[in-house]
């Protein structure tokens, strides 16, 4: 399957000069969605994973079926202010702004290996923030999965040691 053809590209969104790779088009194409999940399964078939941490919101759509298929717990990394209770949080810079993510502390079991799942890796800031939260709770990052990688934004500088894997890499337009 040519996954690139299933991804909608939107110029000048969310601001002029940004080419937005809209992976929501994958979720309306059942063959593309099945392909992504199958590729995830193949990439991590020999990796010890104790749980999945899916990043709001498109990461939820990838992490949930993968966790279910592997009978693993699914932990949600949510935007600030969306989780009740005792949380761990981490702020980070995006390619066009700043944000904060939160995870319930009780969900991050110490000593476990967590696969972080999101839709796209741009600068790596979001994934690095989740990795820092995992490590702050004495757990480990088993890896990072994303459909798309934008290596021209140098995400490997931040997250190379977490072994990020992507299905498509765009070199810039």
- Among residues 41, 48, 58, 98, the one annotated as catalytic is 58
Q: Give yes or no for a contact between 142 and 49, defined as CB atoms under 8 angstroms apart.
A: yes
pTM (predicted TM-score) = 0.95
pLDDT of res. 120: 95
Nearest to 49 by CA among 98, 91, 109, 8: 109
Predicted local distance difference test score (pLDDT) of residue 125:
94
The reply to whether 95 belongs to the active site is yes
CA pair distance 155, 125, nearest whole angstrom: 8
The band of 137, judged by pLDDT with boundaries at 50, 70 and 90, is: very high
Catalytic-role residue among 42, 56, 95, 173: 95
CATH 3.40.50.2300 fits 47-169, yes or no: no
DSSP lists the bridge partners of residue 17 as: none
**Is 56 annotated in the active site?**
no
Mean local confidence (pLDDT), 136-140: 98
pLDDT digits (tens, 9 = 90+) for 56-106: 999 999 999 999 999 999 999 999 999 999 999 999 987 667 899 999 999
> Phi-psi bin for 124: left (phi > 0), alpha (psi -120 to 50), beta?
left
Rounded to an integer, the average pLDDT of 11-32 is 93
Q: Residue 172: is its pLDDT beyond 80?
A: no
Mean pLDDT, rounded, for 114-142: 97
Are the C-beta atoms of 145 and 168 separated by less than 8 Å? no
Q: Concatenated DSSP letters for 94-106?
A: ETTEEEEEEEEGG
Helix or strand holding residue 41 (H, E): helix 30-43
Boundaries of every domain in the chain: 47-169
- The pLDDT value recorded for residue 173 is 55
Average pLDDT, the chain: 95
């Amino acid at each position: 399957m040519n996954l690139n053809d299933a991804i909608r590209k939107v110029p000048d969104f969310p601001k002029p000069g940004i080419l937005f790779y809209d992976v929501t088009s994958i979720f309306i194409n059942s063959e593309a969605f099945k392909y992504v999940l199958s590729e995830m399964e193949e990439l991590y078939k020999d990796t010890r994973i104790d749980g999945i941490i899916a990043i709001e919101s498109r990461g939820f759509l990838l992490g949930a079926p993968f966790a279910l298929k592997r009978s693993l717990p699914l932990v949600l990394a949510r935007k600030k202010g969306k989780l009740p209770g005792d949380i761990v949080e981490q702020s980070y810079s995006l390619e066009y702004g700043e944000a904060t993510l939160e995870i319930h502390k009780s969900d991050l079991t110490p000593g476990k290996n967590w696969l972080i799942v999101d839709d796209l890796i741009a600068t790596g800031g979001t994934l690095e923030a989740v990795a820092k939260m995992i490590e702050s709770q004495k757990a480990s990052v088993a890896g990072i999965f994303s459909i798309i990688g934008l290596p021209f934004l140098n995400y490997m500088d931040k997250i190379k040691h977490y072994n990020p894997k992507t299905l498509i890499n765009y070199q810039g337009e």
